[in-house]
Structures are given as structure tokens and as C-alpha cells.
A and B are shown apart, each in its own frame.
Chain A
Amino acid sequence: MIVVDTLAALILVVLAWRCLLLTDLFRSIVLFIVFGLLMALAWARLDAPDLALAEAAIGAGLLGVLLLGTWRAMGSPDGDHRQPGRALQVIAAGGGMVLAVLVGIALHQLPVSEQAAGALALERLDEAATQQPVTAVLLNFRSYDTLLEMGVLLMALLGTWLARVPLMESLSGDDASRGTELLPVALRVFVPVMLLVGAYLIWAGTHSPGGAFQGGAVLAAAGVLLALAGRLRGDTGDSLPLRMLLVLGLTVFSLAGLLLIPLQGAFMAYPPTLIYPVMLIVEYSLAVSIAITLVLLYTGSRGLRRGPA
């Protein structure tokens, strides 16, 4: 097993090294996408299935499409050859080396702590009405972090809107996906499957790897696929229902927390009987918000409308 791990780790580092060293933009983007996929593999090897799912869907998938879309929107530049001064290069190399060595030593000599919070979480898993430890931590023990994180998504979307540079408009008309009939057939097959898998993943989160993020990401992937195929167009007018869906996750989660304070006396402390239903509602509303936010982050537009059939 050591060989597989060493090989995987080595490939990861080499890929990152090549990706950052190349001056050609397209090649470094492709290398970055492969790096993302291998990262998902690494998570699987380090028995973090949730992360493998998230990394594959969000990190490699969505980010890859976004990178390639941006590259095309920038007029496919081949990357600039501006090299910083010699001094800066030496500092960067030296600094990077020192940083790597320091972190390496620190990780190596890190003492193992006996009473880790994670162990405590594993013991009291049943109180959080779920078998999947990560979901328990995400939606119950440290639910505050997950909620604040939804704010991050909303702010990133507002920032993208303020940049006023929708990706969809800049894609030229005559790209390959117009003329072929194969694409509609593929869409009819893939999109329903993706929606199904996404919905399943959200539900599965309560007892096995999966959850709002992974499910939401798969749904977003379906949306991006439709956008790429032209079924979904970016629209300038922002409709209220869409905005309500965008903030659904944040509002449902915080209102659940606030309204239930009187019962348990603490923010987001759900009474034992209510935990499972509340968690499911919250999980689905989070997934919806995440999916739509990620699609809009891809299209860069304020709204969505149906494109030509």
C-alpha cells in the first residue's frame, strides 16, 4: 500500500509543480483540473469519502469548467511571459522552501492529542440523530460554521454580479455544441440522472457520505451542463423568486436556529425529537441555494432563462 500512496503523493506534487511553472495558461489549467481529480483520489485514500465527492464535483468539475470558460472569455491568451526580477524569484523560491520544510517538520513532530474533539463527536453521534459523523459535525455540533459559510457564497455571488462580466454572453455563437443532434439526446439522458443522483446524495448525507454540499454540487453540474448546451441562458433581469431561492439556505438555517432558542435555550439547539426533520429541511434548502449559487457563479449573470430548445 505504501507504493500506491507514495506514487499518488508524488504525482500530486509533480502536477502542482508543472502547473505553476508553465507559462502557457491553457496547459496549466488542464494540469490544474487533473490535479483536482487526483486530489479527490487522495481524499478517498485518506478515507475522507465526503471530501472526495466534494472535491470531484466542486473542485475539479465546476472550477475546471469555470477556468476554461474564463480562459475562453479572455480571448484564449497564451499567458504572459512577464518574469519577476531575479531577487523576487530567489525570495519566492527560498520562502517556499523554508515554508515547506517548516510545515513538514511541524507535521512530522506533531504530538498526538489524547482528547481530540473528533473522538468526543464520534461517541455522542447518536445524540445528533445521524450516523454520518461529518454531517453530524457540519449540521449539528458546528452548525454555526456551515451557516456562516452560506454567507460567503452569497457575497461571492454579489461580487461576481458587481464585476458585471457574464460568461455566457462572451461565448461565440458558432461553437460546436450548436449543430449536432447528439447533444440533445445526451442531455435527455444525463440531466435527469444527475438530478436524481444529486437529490439522493442530499438525502444520503444523514447516514452515509454525501450531504448538502455534494448534492448541491451535482445539481449545479446539471445546471452548468444545460448552460453549456445552450438550454439555459444568462439573463440580466434578476427575478425575486430566484433571489429567494438564493438566500433560502441561509434564512431557513438561521430562522430554524433563532426560532428554536426558546425551546433549548441556545441558538440552533434543536430538541431531540425535532433534530432529524429540521436537519433534513435545512439540508435540502442549503442544497438548493448552493446549486443555484454555483450555477450563477458559472454564468456570472443575475438571472437564468430558458434558451432555444
Chain B
Amino acid sequence: MSDALLPLSVFVPLLAGVCVFLSGGGARSPVALSGVLLSLAISLLLVMAVGSQGTLDHALAGWEPPLGIRLHADGLAALMILLTAVVGALVSLHAVGQFAGKSEIANRFWTLWLLLWGSLNALFLSADLFNVYVTLELVTLAAIPLVLLAGSRQSVSASLNYLLLALFGSLLYLGGVALIYGMTGTLDLQLIGERLPAGGWPVGVATALIVAGLLVKAAIVPFHFWLPPAHGGAPAPVSALLSALVVKAAVYLLLRLWAGPLQLPLSAPWVAQLLGALGAAAIILGSIQAMRQPRLKLVVAYSTVAQLGYILLFFPLAVASAWQGAVYHGLAHGVAKAALFLAAGNMLYHLGHDRVAELRGMGRPLALSLGAFAIASVSIMGLPPSGGFIAKWLLLQSALEQGLWWIVATVLVGGLLAAGYVFRVMRYAFMEAHAGPSVDRAPTPAQPLMVWSALTLAVLSIVLGFTARPLLTLLGEIPLGGG
């Protein structure tokens, strides 16, 4: 019966979002908060069920594939749902503080965020190539209006660019799905894996289209221009959700497709090297850009572009410890990046601006938010004792075992570059200033809820450094050839 949890974990958040939409409640609306709690409970129940019973399957509408759609919850999906639940719940707490008083915007945030939560769970559970397209669209179309919540002129043009490129990416992906359906006659990930012909033009073109589409959605280097304005311009809880979860969904799909249907084409040597090279380029270029940004939220946004590159480093390695390293990096980055954005949001909320050069001497008034920023950036830099360090260790170990020196160099240089842009911010915080940081308007101290949610997420990113064993046993072995 526990496999009924799968559809529930999709529809509870969706229906909660609908209820909030109908009830029209504000920031503290009981409907929204109980919706968040219920979704959190369902997600945790699902993760525990997967933990105890292994992978769960649920054929929707009673029709087995290839006719119907199958929901599939394995270790990878469970971990991503756990990440969504934990980061989502804490960001929701922050949103209660951030949107207090602005009831109309708060209602839109709650509706869209709960719908987004449901679609993220749907995406992680989906084991059907076309259903992945629909959930990918759902996730994007929930994310873009969230960016619009800020209502400023930049956020309008940012969301327009985001929409255009997101549609472009999804349609490329759909082109690939069309070709694969033509060849295999089915959309179920596992069946495709079995029926896909080994080589030939159609398989190559289909894989290229799907991978290109997902790279656009994941804002990997050549296609990353839409991410910083969108994540930088959005309100803090939104940019936290976008960077930690939405962009991660596209990269997760690359891993899911590698593990399932597209194992053969994606593990072709030159394809794997290309993806690895793109990842390395993302790390280097993203970090360099992050060092040159005048605004704090743009620094953190470019850091997302860089950190996503690490997960792509899995493909040239394609070995069990690299799989665990890439997935664990996804988790650690999700938690740490959410903490960074919330902390940056608190500073913006307090000072009215987030120009890095003018954050001088903000140590005093924003001590806790600055502390959260510092603790979370330890994980971003991959320094011990954080989750980011464990992921870096796993990636380095598998790279060294296979003698891929350019990956070793990229991971190490990536950590140093991350230290570059983090300590650039910290330097201003510690700089001595007589009158404290410059302020655009009367300083409005951040609500306690906002500060403590950022701090909890930051501490969580450190705790991830110690809880690697249970999480990685939940992830299980690298799924070769099966859906």
C-alpha cells in the first residue's frame, strides 16, 4: 500500500497550492502553513518507505507501461525529494518572515511555491520520458512567475528571457523524445533502455537534442546567461528555491537518463568527455564571473552556475564513487546555496541594497546572517567539515583512481576560485567601518524567523559532512542499464 505514497507526494502539495489559491490567505495563512507541513510529512514518509522497502513503483491509472505512465521511487529520487522537502520547509519559514504584511504577494508565493513543490516531486518520481517533459514545463512555469514576484523592471526582462530559453530547451528535449518514441515505440525509461538501437544517426541526434535541451534548462555555461538576472533579481526565498531545486532538476535528469535509457549513447567516450569539459568550463567561468559581480545576490547566482558544473564531472568518470559524489554534491549544494541566498536576502532586507563594496563593517548589525553566510560558504568551497567537502572527496578519489588528472585539477581549482569570491564578500564584512554599512533607507532588521531559517540551513550544510553514510546507503549502487 505504501506505493500509494508516490501519487500522494505529488498531489498533496498540488492540492495544497490550490487551496491556498482559493483561500486567498496572506503570509501567515494557516492553509499555506498546514499545506507545507503536510507536504513535508508526505515527502518524509516516502523517503522512509524507500529507505526500508527499496525502490517503489506505481503504475498510474492501473495501466502498466508501455501503455500507462509509471512513477518510480529509487534511492536517487528519494534523496532529491528529501532535499526538496528540507530546503522547501526552511525556505517557507523564511518566506513567512519575508512576505509578512504583503498579503497579496504572499498568497501568490504560497500558491506557486506549493505547485512548484508538487511538480518537483512529480519530476523526481517520473519514469516516463514525455511525462518528464510535462513536469519540466510545470517546474519552469511555476518558477518564472515566482521570479516576477519582485515586480521590478529587471525581474520582468529577466523572467522574459528565462521563459524564452526555458521553452527553447523544453522543445529541443521534446524533439529528442519524439525521435526516441519513433524508434522504440514506448516512453517508459526502462523499456527504452532495452529497445534503443545501439548506434546510428537517429539515436545520436535524439540524445544530442535531449542533452542540449537539458543543458539549456540547467544553465550550463554556453546557455547560462538567463540564470543570474533571474536568480539575482528574485526575492530571497524564490532565488533560494530556484538555485537549490529548480536548476538542479535539469541536471538530475541528465543523471537519471544516463542511468536509464541513454546509458549507451551517453557513455560513449567523446560524449562523456564533452559533458565533463562543459562541467569544467562551467566551474571555471562561473567562479570568475562570480568574483566580478558588484551585487551580492549576483555573486551567489553565478556561484550556482559554477557549482552545477561539478555534477557534470560525473560523466567522464562514470564509476560508483563518482555517482555518489555527484549526487551528494547536489544535496550539499542545494542546502548551502539556499542558506547563502537567504542570508544575502536578509542583508538586502536590512540595508536596502546588496552592493558588495558597501557592506563594510556589517559584522555588528547582521552578525547572525553573516554567520550563516560564512558557515554555508564553507560547504560551497568544499572545505571540511561540510557536505561539499565529502562530495569533493568522492569526486577527487574516483578521478585519481582513474587517473583523469584534468578533473582533479578542475575540482581543486574550483574550490580555490570559490574561496576567491566568498572571501571577497567576507573581507568587506570584517573591514573596520566607523558608521557601519551604508544604508539606502532606514535599516529594517530582518525578522528572527528569517535569520534562524538561514542559520539552520547553514548548520545543516555542515551536518551533511557527517551524515554521508546513511544518505549514501539510501542512494544505493549506481543503477546500470535499468530504469
Contact = CB atoms under 8 A, between A and B. Distances in A.
Given A148-B135, A158-B145, A124 B67 contact: yes
Interface in B104-123: 108, 111-112, 115, 118-119, 122
Q: Classify the interface of chain A: helix, strand, loop or mixed.
A: helix
A244 B22 contact: yes
A9 interface: no
Nearest to A110: B182
Contacts of A107: 179, 182
Given A106-B201, A106-B206, A145-B131, A117 B141 contact: no
Given A106-B202, A117-B187, A142 B68 contact: yes
B134 to A, nearest CB: 5
Contacts of B15: 251, 254-255
A186 to B, nearest CB: 36
A103 B178 CA distance: 11
Contact of B111 (A142, A158, A163): A158
Contacts of B145: 155, 158-159, 162
Interface string A139-163: 0111111001101101110110111
Given A148-B119, A266-B59, A266-B60, A113 B134 contact: no
Of B15, B67, B200, the most chain A CB neighbours within 10 A belong to B67
Contacts of B58: 266-267
A269 interface: yes
B274 interface: no
Contacts of A118: 185
Interface stretch (A52-60, A187-195, A256-264): A256-264
Contacts of B111: 158
A115 B205 contact: no
A156 B141 contact: yes
Contact of B69 (A105, A112, A142, A158): A142
B205 A105 contact: yes
Contacts of A164: 151
A242 to B, nearest CB: 11
Interface string A95-137: 0000000110111011111111111110010000000000000
Interface residues of B, number: 62
A296 to B, nearest CB: 13
B183 A151 contact: no
A74 to B, nearest CB: 13
Given A120-B66, A155-B138, A267-B61, A113 B183 contact: yes
B208 interface: yes
A155 B118 contact: no
A243 interface: yes
A148 B21 CA distance: 17
29 contacts: A103-B179, A103-B209, A106-B179, A109-B200, A110-B179, A110-B182, A110-B202, A112-B182, A114-B185, A124-B67, A145-B69, A145-B130, A148-B138, A151-B138, A154-B21, A154-B115, A155-B112, A155-B141, A155-B145, A156-B141, A162-B148, A243-B22, A251-B15, A258-B11, A266-B61, A267-B60, A267-B61, A268-B7, A268-B61
Given A258-B11, A268-B62, 16 more contacts: A103-B209, A106-B201, A109-B201, A110-B179, A110-B183, A112-B182, A115-B66, A116-B186, A117-B186, A148-B134, A151-B115, A151-B119, A162-B149, A267-B4, A267-B7, A268-B60
Interface of A: 102-103, 105-107, 109-121, 124, 140-145, 148-149, 151-152, 154-156, 158-159, 161-164, 240, 243-244, 247, 250-251, 254-255, 257-258, 261, 264-270
